[in-house]
Amino acid sequence: MGLRHSNERLTTIIIVLCFYIVFSCFREGSTYYPTRKRTQKVDDLIINEYQKQSELRKRFLKKYIKPKGYGTLYNALVPEVFCKDLIRIGRVGDGGKWICNPTAMLNWPKCNIYSLGTYNDPSFEEDFQTFLSNKCKLRCVDKDEQNPDTIKRIEDVNGVFKKAFIGSKTNASENMLKFSNLLSEFRDRRIDILKIDIEGGEFDIIDELVSVPMCQILIEVHGKTAEQTLELLQALSKNGFYLFSYEVNGFWHELSEYSFIHEKCFTLFNIQTVYGKFLS
């Protein structure tokens, strides 16, 4: 009888231990890993290698951009800064944008998001504002009127829509506004996130874009030649912007997404590592 009870106790102990081991393994895989302490530090050897390559990339682009076009451009591109929390927000497929460390904005007292080019599709703006719990002021601008459903969708995520054409001068009769005047109209001093998708118009207003204080530019470039696209990227770079992401369009290689952050906003978005600047 005593032996039987001993065996039953031993069996019970073994079963309990098995449950404990299984539970521990499950916990390790499902909860411990995501809460593990993360670091922003990038190994110095990695940074040094990026910085050595920066000059090589400059020379590579200068030498081969004309004869080989977009192949040269895309082969040379790498991030110029390290974003710990890099995320693509918006539709899977066309319409999504890469943003650097957007969770930093959750701790800010206020923020401004501008969107140039709506085309009755505010899906990115909706998803981004939902991610931020609608805390930012959203300004959507398009040269054409938007349908009532689009206007309502924008308003539902703390946004407003303005019909305007961004140009190099303000002309009320043509519904044209300088970018700086647009900010004045909304009484904003800085843009935290600027999304641009204006079907090639970006080449005409690049000087306007860099004339106002802003942190991140998420721009779809509708390229003409690879040289012209590179010149646009270099113009942003010369004005203090660092490339942190790019996404080549698999259907039309002359169309690609680029994301930049200004050096004055590194602290705001927790940027601690610069790999090296090669676009300028």
Is the pLDDT assigned to residue 115 strictly greater than 80? Answer: yes
Residue environment code for 222-252, b if the CB has 16+ CB neighbours within 10 A, otherwise e: bbeebeebbebbebbbebebbbbbbeeeeee
Q: How confident is the model at residue 223 (pLDDT cuts 50, 70, 90)?
A: confident
pLDDT averaged over the chain? 89
Name the pLDDT band for 8 (thresholds 50, 70, 90).
low
Q: Which of 124, 118, 64 is nearest to 99 (CA)?
A: 124
pLDDT digits (tens, 9 = 90+) for 193-210: 999 999 888 998 899 889
Kindly give the pairing relationship between strand 191-196 and strand 112-116: parallel
Q: Stretch 130-157: mean pLDDT, rounded? A: 97
Mean pLDDT score, 257-267: 98
Instruction: Give the tokens for residue 9.
Output: 């106790």
d(CA 116, CA 120): 12
CB 86 within 8 A of CB 98: yes
- The three-class DSSP label of residue 247 is strand
Q: Classify domain 44-265 by CATH architecture.
A: 3-Layer(aba) Sandwich (3.40)
pLDDT of 277 higher than 90: yes
pLDDT of residue 14: 62
Distance, in Å, from the CA atom of 168 to the CA atom of 67, rounded to the nearest integer, reads 32
Q: What is the pTM of this model?
A: 0.84
Task: Say yes or no to pLDDT of 35 above 50.
Answer: no
pLDDT, residue 29, reads 44
DSSP state for residue 29 in the 8-state scheme: I
**Domain boundaries of the chain, sorted by first residue:** 1-36, 44-265
How many contiguous H segments (helices) and E segments (strands) does the chain have? 8, 11
Q: Between 6 and 262, whose confidence is greater?
A: 262
